[in-house]
Structure 1
Amino acid sequence: MTIALPFPNERIAVVSITRHGIALAGKVVAALPGARLFAPEKFRAEAEAAAPGAAATYTGKTGDQIPALFANFDGIVAIVSLGALVRLIAPHLKDKEQDPGVVVIDEAGRFAIPMLSGHLGGANALAGSLAQALGATPVLTTASDSRQTLGVDLLGRELGWIFEATHDEVVKASAAVVNDEPVALVQEAGSPDWWPRHANGRSGPVPANIKQFSRLEEVDLDSVAAVLWISHRPLPPELAPRLAGRLVTYRPPVEQGA
């Protein structure tokens, strides 16, 4: 199954700082046509051979390149030790709405590890795509992905849905989903194939703790921990107080109908 990325390949930077890593980086660029390889100047020949026409080299410290990489790319694939990369990027982190998706791959190409912005930043999807291309194992540590359940902040993304909720509301709903608490999913609009097209791929059934409804008014609000509401209409005023703090609303494109 092809995994859809939330950004084009042209917005992906591949960084490697060793000769063997650069050879693997060439395979990554080949798997993601349009991606760019960045390597130290001393490895210019190796970089150009690994990724003809898609390689750039830099002088100075790798850490000095992080601000430009964060500013110009949505996805970063680093063939660097995980610990070293944590130290390199730590001073430049902002929040998950702004930080790029960062994936670490070991030099042997055995593991693809999303280390930053797994959901909104697309690192989990990028790791899954790289794992397919390289025959690697994706190491997913976010609860919704490791348990193959619904990612509240990703629902309908490939379908163009936009979610409306505060950070705390997303956190509460996400916790309810992964902790097997009762969650109501109400679909009044949008494409019905949101589950098979869900980010990172889902092949099993919808989790048992997520009960589906066709109208918000059908839900017994006292019996659920959170409500995921897919609709074009405004929230009925009389329901707003009862749903405060536990509602995530999704707005599909109007052309997806009711």
Structure 2
Amino acid sequence: MKTEKWAIVTLSQDGVALAKRLAEHLDDRECHIYTKEKYANETTKIITTDISTFMGSISGAYQIICCIMATGIVVRAIAPHLKHKSSDPGILVMDTKGAFVISLLSGHLGGANDAARLVAKRLSAQAVITTGTDVKGTMAVDVLAQKIKCAIDDFTAAKDVTALILNGDPIALVNRENCDLDAVILPKNIETVADLTELTKYLGVIITTLDTKKAELPIPSVKLVPRKLVLGVGCRRDTPGERIIAAIQETLASLNLNVKGIKSLATIGLKAEEAGIIEACAFFAAKKVIIPNEMVQMVQSRFEGSDFVFKTTGLYAVSEPCGFVASGFGKCLREKQKLGGITLSVWLDEN
């Protein structure tokens, strides 16, 4: 697992002293301290632009940005660079005495709430957390999604259902995809039910599903999409990424499967640096999995082979063996599709 990266940003001498102390207490994180040149020392990096430009330049490089300065400065500095709660970093604000640590932005998905609690514990400070579900000791939809490793299909729908949870209204959870709930303590007003026919006493519903079909329900609903789809991918050399992306979208649409459920794209070592596959992985936020030739050779007899593929790769098949292995020998949802120099197969990772 990658080490979490923190930026600690300050604009004062007292702030630098606190930043150094904080970094020492976060030795299990990768911390970089930033400040203006006149306060810099051997432990810091220098801010060479105005604070707003600087905040924009680092917002994609760190999971957590802890600002030791006035809250107003931070709000004005980050405002032009905010995109969406699903992608913005967690932002913390601390006073220069280290008495308080505020979870300012991306408390749930960005991890700022947990980060604030961590800083408070290690520096004996007071965490300031204002998200409604945390204040009431309940759970937002985005937190539940994070805990069971799902993507949120529609953030507006998630907001509507979270409001019902916060209000104490009865909510049904239909776990169609058998997501692991063992380690999750659900609020008392969220109950698991077997299917969508049992909703008479509920005012909202959360559904774990890969299905894109719209459920016509009389109450607000939100879909949580588990990352369980593995695509075996083969392609001709230099196939453009946009063509691979379009092929994946079309294939999953034909199966009524949500692209947010893509976990990984699997291929062979010969295609490890194929720019189009790398671009597709980035587009779908999917992991690139390289299957060794030896593993492909062990299972390729299960699938239709090609002499042409053998001549170019030394293997009789690529897409299906790779998807089969990468999914943990999972269920095939779509056998190999030939799409103009691209081959795709779709698998369900049920591990």
User: Is TM-score (shorter-chain normalized) higher than 0.5?
Assistant: yes
Aligned to 2:217: 242
Aligned to 1:185: 173
Aligned to 1:171: 159
Structure-1 separation of matches of 2:2 and 2:147: 11
Matched letter for residue 242 of structure 1 = L
Q: Does 1:42 align with 2:21?
A: no
Aligned to 1:19: 13
Written as runs of structure 1 = structure 2, the 5 A alignment for 1:66-77 is: 66-77=55-66
Structure-1 separation of matches of 2:46 and 2:196: 59
Aligned to 1:211: 191
Name the stretch that deviates more: 222-231 or 145-154.
222-231
Following TM superposition, by how much is the alpha carbon of 1:70 offset from its aligned partner in structure 2, in angstroms?
1.5
Following TM superposition, by how much is the alpha carbon of 1:244 offset from its aligned partner in structure 2, in angstroms?
7.1
Answer yes or no: is the 8 Å Cα contact 1:13–1:73 preserved in 2: yes
Matched letter for residue 162 of structure 1 = C
Following TM superposition, by how much is the alpha carbon of 1:14 offset from its aligned partner in structure 2, in angstroms?
0.6
Aligned to 1:199: none
Matched letter for residue 31 of structure 1 = H
Higher strand proportion: 2
Written as runs of structure 1 = structure 2, the 5 A alignment for 1:86-105 is: 86-105=75-94
Structure-1 separation of matches of 2:25 and 2:87: 25
Structure 1, unaligned stretches of length 5 or more? 1-5, 197-205
Structure-1 separation of matches of 2:53 and 2:215: 48
Following TM superposition, by how much is the alpha carbon of 1:138 offset from its aligned partner in structure 2, in angstroms?
1.3
Aligned to 1:115: 104
Structure-2 separation of matches of 1:218 and 1:192: 21
Answer yes or no: is the 8 Å Cα contact 1:190–1:256 preserved in 2: no
Q: Secondary structure at the match of 1:113?
A: strand
Answer yes or no: is the 8 Å Cα contact 2:109–2:146 preserved in 1: no
Following TM superposition, by how much is the alpha carbon of 1:165 offset from its aligned partner in structure 2, in angstroms?
2.4
Q: Deviations over 1:99-128 (max 9, x none)?
A: 221100111212111111222222112112
Structure-1 separation of matches of 2:145 and 2:154: 18
Written as runs of structure 1 = structure 2, the 5 A alignment for 1:120-139 is: 120-139=109-128
Following TM superposition, by how much is the alpha carbon of 1:192 offset from its aligned partner in structure 2, in angstroms?
2.8
Q: Does 1:9 align with 2:4?
A: yes
Answer yes or no: is the 8 Å Cα contact 1:190–1:252 preserved in 2: no
Q: Secondary structure at the match of 2:200?
A: helix
Following TM superposition, by how much is the alpha carbon of 1:180 offset from its aligned partner in structure 2, in angstroms?
0.6
Structure-2 separation of matches of 1:109 and 1:128: 13
Structure-2 separation of matches of 1:44 and 1:180: 50
Q: Secondary structure at the match of 1:89?
A: helix
Q: Deviations over 1:197-220 (max 9, x none)?
A: xxxxxxxxx43222222x12462x
Mark the CA change 1:95 to 1:234 in structure 2 (over 3 Å): closer, same or farther: closer
Structure-2 separation of matches of 1:9 and 1:163: 21
Structure-2 separation of matches of 1:95 and 1:247: 18
Following TM superposition, by how much is the alpha carbon of 1:171 offset from its aligned partner in structure 2, in angstroms?
1.0
Higher normalized contact order (CA 8 Å, seq sep 6+, divided by chain length) = 1
Structure 2, unaligned stretches of length 5 or more? 229-347
Answer yes or no: is the 8 Å Cα contact 2:151–2:226 preserved in 1: yes
Q: Does 1:230 align with 2:225?
A: no
Structure-2 separation of matches of 1:165 and 1:225: 19
Answer yes or no: is the 8 Å Cα contact 1:185–1:227 preserved in 2: yes
Which one has a bigger Cα radius of gyration?
Answer: 2
Aligned positions, number: 229
Mark the CA change 1:108 to 1:152 in structure 2 (over 3 Å): closer, same or farther: same
Structure-2 separation of matches of 1:247 and 1:87: 33
Give the TM-score of the pair, scaled to structure 1.
0.78
